[in-house]
Amino acid sequence: MRYSLLRDTVLDDPQLHELDILVWPEHRRKFVAAAQELGFAARKTGIPGKEVLAAFDGENLRLVDVHYAFIQEGLVYLSLPEALRRLRKTPEGHSILSREDELLHLFYHNLLGKNHLQEKHLARVKALLAPLPDLAYLKQRLSHPKIWNCFEQFILRPETFSKDRKLAGKSAREIRRALMLRSPANWLRWFYHRRLRKRLHRRRGVHFAFMGVDGAGKSTIIRAVQQQLEQAGGVKFYTVYMGPWGQIRSPFMRLYKKLRLTPPEEDWLGRLREKLQGREKEHSLPLLLKKLISGKIQGWLYYFAIYLEFWYRYFREVRPRLRKGAIVLSDRYIYDLKYIYKDRPVEQFKWLRGLVCRFYPRPDRVVYLQNDPDTIVRRKPQLNAGQIRQFQGFYRQALAAYPVLEVLTDRPPEALARQVVSAIMEKHLQSA
């Protein structure tokens, strides 16, 4: 298989989580098949001439950036055949570019991709310049006079291209123009990469919601999951609060709260029935009718306002991040509304609450955290064991129609987080 390592050549470095490799196009299928046998999954990038393979080993996300051409931002800057003829071998037997081609690769990669020479590559560039490489070969490979002029300055003063962003940026623009003028295909690929790719190619992210009674360990587990995702590297993740109570975001819910309206605790319809049956003596019929109508209006307004609140949060905090391929962790979710209001069961407006939950975006998975009620009471004595048992029943009913990962919180948070992170990364790689 024809390939060359790019930039990173010490493969047993424990800090190496991302590897760049150049693979000759005719060997693409063979390379991808071999990577898939090792547990890697292809992630769509929409970047011409490039593919990303990813695998999660339980602790770290391993990424392989596979290049099928010398290409940066859609601009092909070197031909492959000449590089193939000059490949070298490392002591471990891996193929790497010749000194001259590696120098050219670092020149183009940094200026086209970053608009300056990155500090981490400066030492390597200096090492490749001592002793002086084959200038005749380099000039023949660059071919364009303007690019050669930029390259001459680059090899004479590499530190300047690292520190002087204005000079480096000007050189980068000249190189782009020269490459686009040399090949119309370069211009088309560059235009697609810069103007169209992000609009046409969207890789959906992953959305996990954490639910359970107070004291089940949501906050603790979410913190542990955040730490492990941070350690895994290579992923963007965000945590948002999606519970029905508190942390109001939308103007609709703020207005509702300002009017001091709340859903009625009393079942006024039931009291009215009792009145008509002669069993209600406390209130008059007109008063019961007034309270019934008032309660219905307040309840309707509440669930309408909370529904708008949830959509407001989703479009502001969840959807944009999912569209960018990120992982979103929700602390609670709209399904809390289905059977309970804060710390009490709710019987009224059942069909309305069911409607609100049904017509709302589903997360990819609901992580339902549960434990023995007595254990939960010892952790957080906010509810008694009987209430917890009742609420756990409500949660199981509410989540019956949704994809659920049930987690028994009887182990250390780190162990539970590993279970959850494995599920998140599996879905993340599948959605790629």
DSSP 110-133: HHHHHSS--HHHHHHHHHHTSS--
The verdict on 298 and 422 lying in the same domain is: yes
Distance CA 181, CA 177 (A): 6
The verdict on 55 and 188 lying in the same domain is: yes
Q: Which amino acid is at 271?
A: R
The verdict on 123 and 243 lying in the same domain is: no
The verdict on 358 and 264 lying in the same domain is: yes
Q: Residue 308 has what pLDDT?
A: 95
The residues near 244 (Cβ < 8 Å, ≥ 6 apart) are 306, 310, 332, 334, 336, 337
CB-CB contact of 402 with 209 (8 Å): no
The verdict on 188 and 212 lying in the same domain is: no
Structural domains counted in the chain: 2
Peptide bond into 345 cis (omega under 30): no
Query: Residue 352 is part of a domain; what is its CATH number?
Result: 3.40.50.300
Q: Residue 187 has what pLDDT?
A: 93
169-213 residue pLDDT tens: 999 999 999 999 999 999 999 998 888 877 776 668 999 999 999
What letter would DSSP give residue 196? I
The verdict on 97 and 244 lying in the same domain is: no
Q: Where among 200, 223, 247 does a domain terminate?
A: 200
Q: Where among 173, 200, 227 does a domain terminate?
A: 200
Q: Where among 200, 220, 251 does a domain terminate?
A: 200
The verdict on 30 and 71 lying in the same domain is: yes
The verdict on 130 and 254 lying in the same domain is: no
Q: Which residues of the chain have pLDDT under 70?
A: 14, 201-203, 268, 432
The verdict on 335 and 265 lying in the same domain is: yes
The verdict on 185 and 236 lying in the same domain is: no
Q: Residue 82 has what pLDDT?
A: 92
Q: Residue 296 has what pLDDT?
A: 84
| Structural domain that includes position 392 | 206-430
330-378 residue pLDDT tens: 999 999 988 877 777 777 888 888 999 999 999 999 999 999 999 888 8
Query: Residue 135 is part of a domain; what is its CATH number?
Result: 3.30.460
Q: Residue 162 has what pLDDT?
A: 96
SS3 89: strand
The verdict on 228 and 168 lying in the same domain is: no
The verdict on 278 and 378 lying in the same domain is: yes
Q: Residue 302 has what pLDDT?
A: 87
